[in-house]
Every structure is written in structure tokens, then in C-alpha cells.
Amino acid sequence: MRYVIIGAGVAGFAAIESIRSIDKTGEVVMVSDDPHGFYSRPGLAYYLTGEIDSKALYSRSKDDYRHLNFSFLNARVKRILRAEKKLELDGKPALAYDKLLIAVGAQAIPLNIAGAKLQGVMKLDHLTDANDILAFTKRGRTAVVVGGGITALELTEGLLARGMNVHYLLRGDRYWSNVLDARESQAVEARLQEEGVTLHHHVELAEIIGKNNRVAGIRLTDGHTIKCDLVAYAVGIAPRIELANECGINCERGILADEHLQTNDENIFAAGDVAQVYDPLTGHSVIDSLWNPAREQGGVAGWNMAGRRAAYLKSAPFNVTRLAGLTTTIIGSVGRGRDEDVMGIARGDSETWRELPEALVAQGGFDVNHIRLLIGDKRLIGAVLMGDQKLSFPLQKMIANGADISPIRDSLMQPNAPVADLIADFWMKWRENIAA
Ligand SMILES: Cc1cc2nc3c(=O)[nH]c(=O)nc-3n(C[C@H](O)[C@H](O)[C@H](O)COP(=O)(O)OP(=O)(O)OC[C@H]3O[C@@H](n4cnc5c(N)ncnc54)[C@H](O)[C@@H]3O)c2cc1C
């Protein structure tokens, strides 16, 4: 039996761990076009700011790799030949498979304007991109960042930490408006301004101006120009569905996979950012662009590839991230629908967050410590925590397990309710009941 995994991301790696937990002897081959292998993509933000070095992006040791007993092939997969059960590789002989996992992730949606191909127009998908950005910051002084979501902010902070003057362009009236509420966006923006970022609202990039094939500035649709040496963009991501599409695997926005992570070809599975996975609990197929779901999906795909029938049960998506220095946890459905700054989905984002929940809102605290709860009939539907993270774990558990919060619901809804205290007290009792 030969298992082939396309993609050296967390989904691919988790699949190998699962396969090996069942099948100790089958051959496992990982193929990736990224010469840097498996590393933490969320960690790239901290690498950009200089808080960690590139070694810290790697969580696995040589022993871990040896133990998993797989081979790594640095090559780009050009085509999947389903009839022959083979992969056509760029510059290397074709590779046969018995079971195949497509875990090729997603990529930044390119800017579709004049000048987008100039040197100095940057994105942040891979370690190579981060290194390119770092090399550029040594040459230039002023950067323009475009886009909403986590990655645009990470680019802003990375460039700032490297001593650049940063202009941050937002099409709408506030930062990440589909996930954060107005006060949360304002808290983030206030901190960015304190750090020296120049924010521009209600603006749209019309053109990147070049000189000698390099970025020299930008022009906005209202005619204003800003001189700059670098343009960094994060306007959304697109799952890399081309390989699957070309060989007749069913795709919508992502590769359609059932709860076993199987596609419409019984020998081909999909997991991670590229997959649009069926959720038997809601009956919807959704895309998460988050590290944890990618790891869990990869793990479940690996089991199924190796013959153990297992289902991936999506739990309330959550992410702990840092927004302009504010540690922020987002859990469940918290959003307001569309965001003018993000096309489709952003990195570190979940389609579930952006659902418009039928829920009442309870808020507590501000500005450094803030909690927002989305409250349904009996359950918590979502939560946003900024600053103090003491309630992050309890809220994750309560939302994921659908804790019945009826006993404190009315109290939570009172004006100026001590939301954090009510949740903390409830959690202690709820945890004891669950344990009993
Ligand atoms: C800057 C940044 C910040 C992030 N922040 C967060 C965060 O705060 N929280 C969070 O939960 N998530 C975050 N994410 C998202 C998270 O990293 C992804 O959800 C996760 O890495 C997805 O894993 P994956 O295995 O599906 O795909 P990926 O990690 O994208 O791996 C895909 C792999 O496939 C390879 N590949 C693609 N096409 C081919 C081909 N044709 N042939 C061969 N190989 C190919 C790629 O080279 C790569 O090795 C962030 C991502 C980035 C980039």
C-alpha cells in the first residue's frame, strides 16, 4: 500500500501521524513544493516581528520524522491522473498512489490592479514570502498594507517592528467588520494609531505606481497618492482547488469532502484549508481556514485512508490570536456577514464566525479587557474575548458542549451586568456537574 500526501502543512502531517498509528508498514510519501517542509504558518507573524527565529517555526524533531518513517519529495504536483492512480510531477518522474490526500491549503488572492506584479508587492503565504518581506524591509522605509482580517494586521505589525512607516488601507469604515463589533474594531485601530500606523478608511487602491520595475507608490481611486517602497496585501484567500477540479473531483469553493474527508473518488481524500467539509450536525459544508480544524481533519483523513472508518465532527471554531497587541479569542458564531475588506475568507478565519447569529449580545468591560457573548435561547452561540483570557477555555468548552445557560441568561442580559463574573461562577458549577 502506498499513501501519498500532497502538501506539507499541518493537515498533511497529521494525516501521516494517523496513518502510522494504524499501518506501520505501508509506504508513505509526502510531496510538497515548499522546500521548507512542515512549519507553523501562524508563527510567520512572530517571525516577521522578530519575536522568534525561523528555527522556532518547526515543532517536530528529526526523531519525530524518523519515527513516522515517510519520505519527503520536494516537487510540485502538476496533475492527478485518476484513471492511472498517478501524480504528474514538475521535473520528476510520475508517482503512483493507492490512497491520496490532497492537503494543498489555500493561497492569497492576488491584487487585480495595474502594478500588482511589480517588485515589492508582497503577500504572506509561506516562509519564503516572509523572508522576501524581511529582505525588502532592509531596503525600503515606507509600506502600504491592504486588506482586512488577521494577516493584514500581522503584516502591519511585522513591518512596523522592522522600522517601516506603515499606511494601512481599509475600504470600509472599520477593521474586520464581519467578525469584530464596532467597539472591538475601534480598540484595535486605536492601538495601531498609538503604535504609529497611519490608517486610511473608505479608500480603495486603484494602481501601484512603479519605477524601474519596483514599487514607488500607490494611487487611490479618489486620486490621492502615497509614496512607498512596499505594498503588502491580504485581501482574502482561495482554496487551491485547481488540481482537484481538473481531474473531476467535486468542488464548490473548496474540495467537497464528506465527514470521512473522502471526495467523490473513494481513493482520494481532502483536508485542511483546501477542503469544504460536510458537517453532519448542521448539514452544511463549510471552509475553515484555521490551524486546529486543519490538523483534526488531516488526522481523521489519515485514519480513513488506512482503513479505520472515522467521522470528523466539527466543533465550534475558535482562534486565539493577537490583534495590535491585544490577545483575542474568537469562538463560535460572532459575525455580521460581509466584510468589504476581505474577499471570501481570510487566513485564521472560519465561515462559521461570519454567520449572522440570531442572538442577543451581552458585553462586559473595555478597553483592554473585553468580553462579548452571543446568547441564544438557552446556549451561548459565540464569544469574543480581548485582553484578559481567563475565560477563554471555559467559554470554548461551554460553547462546544452547548451548555444550558438558562440559570444566568436573564442576569447576563441586564444593563451593566458583571458578565465575566457571572460566566466564571456558572463555569465552576457547570464543570462540577459535568464531572459528576
Ligand atoms: C500568516 C498566517 C497567519 C495565520 N494565522 C492563523 C491563526 O492565527 N490561527 C489559525 O488557526 N490559523 C492561522 N493561519 C492559518 C493556518 O496556518 C492554516 O489554516 C493551516 O496552516 C492550513 O494547513 P493546511 O495543511 O491545510 O495547508 P497549508 O499549511 O497551506 O499547506 C499546504 C501545503 O501544500 C503545498 N502545495 C500546494 N500546492 C501544491 C502542489 N501543486 N504540489 C505540491 N505541493 C503543493 C504547499 O507548499 C504546502 O506545503 C495562518 C496562516 C498564515 C499564512
Ranges in the chain annotated CATH 3.30.390.30: 318-435
Task: Tell which one of 273, 287, 353 to mutate to probe ligand 1, the residue whose CB is within 8 A of the most ligand atoms.
Answer: 273
Task: Tell which one of 32, 79, 321 to mutate to probe ligand 1, the residue whose CB is within 8 A of the most ligand atoms.
Answer: 32
Residue 139 pLDDT > 90: no
For residues 64 and 435, give the distance between their C-alpha atoms in angstroms, rounded to a whole number. 35
**pLDDT cut 90: percent of the chain above it:** 80
Residues having CB closer than 6 A to ligand 1 are 6-12, 31-34, 41-42, 44-45, 76-77, 103-105, 124-125, 150-151, 154, 240, 243, 272-273, 289-292, 294, 319, 321, 347-348
pLDDT for 178: 87
Calculate mean pLDDT across residues 223-245: 97
pLDDT for 359: 67
CATH topology of domain 110-233: FAD/NAD(P)-binding domain (3.50.50)
CATH of region 2-107+239-305, choose from 3.40.50.300, 3.30.70.890, 3.50.50.60, 3.60.10.10? 3.50.50.60
Other CB atoms within 10 Å distance of the CB of residue 277: 26
Task: Give residue 253's identity as a one-letter amino acid code.
Answer: R
The pLDDT tens digits for 3-42 are 999 999 999 999 999 999 999 999 999 999 999 999 999 9
Nearest CA to 77 among 65, 91, 63, 62?
A: 91
Tell the residue nearest (CA) to atom 19 of ligand 1: 290
CATH of region 318-435, choose from 3.30.450.90, 3.30.390.30, 3.40.50.2000, 3.40.50.1370? 3.30.390.30
Residue 336 pLDDT > 80: no
Ranges in the chain annotated CATH 3.50.50.60: 2-107+239-305, 110-233
Residue 181 pLDDT > 70: yes
pLDDT for 434: 77
pLDDT for 126: 96
Cell of 417: 451586568
Residue 308 pLDDT > 80: yes
On whether the pTM is more than 0.85, the answer is yes
